[in-house]
Amino acid sequence: MSRTLGETEAEFAVDSSEALLEVSLALATQARHSLDIVSRHLDPALYDNELFSDALRALVVNTRRAQIRLLILDSAPVVLHGHRVVELAQRLTDFIQIRVPAPQHKEFNEAWLVADNTGYAHRRFSDRYDATVNFAARRVSNSLTKRFEELWNQAQLDSNLRRQHL
């Protein structure tokens, strides 16, 4: 079933990495202004692939004021193994920002993606693929964005995720 960001207003559940990847890609490719992502390890099954990084690149290239914010709860695996989205963020620093939570939020365990403050995929537990999704739910998206802002404003840059110049 085809879903359109800002139009398809029906909440539904997904319960596999494949289904969550599909809706995450759909939300990212349809975003025209912003993406806010909270993720434990910037989940490789969802975000470390060419299609997702291409969607982020397209958002930045096609929108002058695009804003992509990534809040990575634990950056160690990303630093250890590398990640396409982090590599992209290191090249497009004006558009893609990455932070880690403040120490008081280290135990936070939810994950979500909000596109254009309109559609979302929300996981109550970041280590599971069970998610609630809606492509046109401004009220819930606003609530998630407000929570994101609270975390983001207290979050910190992680020097391990910055581009290393030689």
* Structural domain contains residue 120: yes
Nearest to 110 by CA among 58, 150, 164, 83: 150
8 Å CB contact between 135 and 157: no
* Structural domain contains residue 2: no
* Structural domain contains residue 6: no
The pTM for the full model equals 0.93
* Structural domain contains residue 3: no
* Structural domain contains residue 84: yes
What is the longest distance spanned by two Cα atoms in the chain?
49
* Structural domain contains residue 38: yes
* Structural domain contains residue 47: yes
pLDDT digits (tens, 9 = 90+) for 105-147: 988 999 999 999 999 999 999 999 999 999 999 999 999 999 9
Q: Find the CATH number of the domain harbouring 151.
A: 3.30.870.10
